[in-house]
Amino acid sequence: MPRLIPDAGPQRVIAASNFVYTVGSGLYLTAGVLYFTQAVHLPAGQVGLGLGIAGLVSLAVGIAVGHLADTRGARGVYATTLVVQALATAGFVLVDSFWPFVLAVCAATGAKAAGLAARSPIIRRYGGDRPQEFRAHLRSVTNIGISLGALLAGWAVRVGTHAAYQLLVIGNAIGFAASAAVLLLLPPVTPGPAAGGPRWIALRDRPYLLITALDGIMAVQFKVLTVAVPLWLVAATTAPPWLISGTMLINTVIVIAFQVWASRSIDSPRTGGAAYRRSGVAFLVSCSLISLSAGAPAWAAATLLMTAVVIHTVGEM
């Protein structure tokens, strides 16, 4: 197995902050959508609508904060987004109806998108000669953290009480706050000068816009395991609810073992494009198998879902 822990220094600090963050995220990613549908008792349609609104908000916030990180210093901006995310996530325990849910999830999702934008200059600064390999390290570390969080989230799903789900949410918020504290050990990233020229020049670059649109479509895959599968498994199949944690664990274990290895052959736009096409085929097959699990006997539904997750994970890597 490739070495997962980066060398001592800034890369290890980034990886440690990421690990703490993703342990908390693993709690929410595995069963967060069930918190709102099973514990808060919001209809699944309202949860989907609220998440869609939050997605639109995060799009605008991410662009603005990315510019701010470039000009004001990425470390401080990123740490601030983590603190906001912790506070917004803690606010989930106060949600009791649709509009408070929308407000809380918009704040949390917007802060997450802002954090991803602010983290990019940090990775660019400390990623070394092969930043894609460092990203692969981070992705493997991410999945180790998520797998640990998924194990704890499985307990909350199994217990199924409102208090258990609230503990899950509070643990998530604590993870975000702790991640911000670890990040402060990182040396500051010197902001760069503001670039001249038109501010919206990217909108004139048609190949860039095409790639952005395709990437937006492919990004739907991130919500398949964290939103679609938990709701689908509980509402449309006879598979046992604890399998939600099982699907997340299979995904994370495979990524931990093979993500760094899978990234090593991606060293040019051509090889990246070929890998992207293979990913699309894998997601198509995976989602087709998930759809076939509806109405099947419990053993068949579980088999289809687990097989689909394996294929989905191959596409994800």
Q: For residues 3 and 226, give the distance between their C-alpha atoms in angstroms, rounded to a whole number.
A: 27
Q: For residues 57 and 35, give the distance between their C-alpha atoms in angstroms, rounded to a whole number.
A: 22
- Cβ(123)–Cβ(14) below 8 Å: yes
- Cβ(157)–Cβ(244) below 8 Å: yes
Q: For residues 132 and 127, give the distance between their C-alpha atoms in angstroms, rounded to a whole number.
A: 8
Q: For residues 94 and 92, give the distance between their C-alpha atoms in angstroms, rounded to a whole number.
A: 5
Closest C-alpha to 26, from 226, 255, 230, 315: 226
Q: For residues 2 and 264, give the distance between their C-alpha atoms in angstroms, rounded to a whole number.
A: 11
Name the pTM for this structure: 0.75
For CA atoms 33, 38, 39, 45, the dihedral sign is positive
pLDDT score recorded for residue 1: 40
- The angle subtended at Cα 241 by Cα 240 and Cα 245, nearest 5°, is 115
- Cβ(113)–Cβ(59) below 8 Å: yes
- Cβ(242)–Cβ(306) below 8 Å: no
Q: How many CB atoms lie within 10 A of CB 35?
A: 26
pLDDT score recorded for residue 252: 82
pLDDT score recorded for residue 2: 46
**314 membership: H or E segment, kind and range:** helix 298-316
- Token pair in block for residue 104: 């809380």
Q: Which long-range contacts (CB under 8 A, 24 or more apart) does 37-46 make?
A: 37/231, 37/234, 38/160, 38/165, 38/234, 39/161, 39/162, 39/165, 39/166, 40/95, 40/96, 40/101, 42/97, 42/98, 42/101, 44/231, 44/235, 46/98, 46/101
Q: For residues 122 and 173, give the distance between their C-alpha atoms in angstroms, rounded to a whole number.
A: 23
CA atoms in the 13 A half-sphere facing the CB of 57: 17
Which DSSP category does 300 fall into? Answer: H
Closest C-alpha to 177, from 15, 9, 24: 24
Q: How many CB atoms lie within 10 A of CB 159?
A: 13
- Can you give the length of the chain in residues? 317
Q: Which residue has the tokens 């198998």?
A: 289
- Cβ(315)–Cβ(282) below 8 Å: yes
Q: For residues 2 and 261, give the distance between their C-alpha atoms in angstroms, rounded to a whole number.
A: 7
- Cβ(218)–Cβ(279) below 8 Å: yes
Q: Walk along the chain (317 residues) and give the pLDDT tens digit of each residue.
A: 445 566 668 888 998 999 999 888 877 776 778 889 888 999 988 998 998 899 888 888 877 787 777 778 889 999 999 999 999 999 999 999 999 999 999 999 999 988 888 888 888 888 777 776 787 778 778 878 888 887 888 788 788 788 888 988 999 999 999 999 999 998 887 776 666 666 677 788 888 899 888 888 888 888 888 888 888 988 889 999 888 888 888 888 888 788 778 877 887 888 888 998 999 999 999 999 999 999 899 999 999 999 999 999 999 88
Residues 6+ apart with CB under 8 A from 261: 2
pLDDT score recorded for residue 192: 64
Question: Which amino acid is residue 83, in one-letter code?
Answer: V
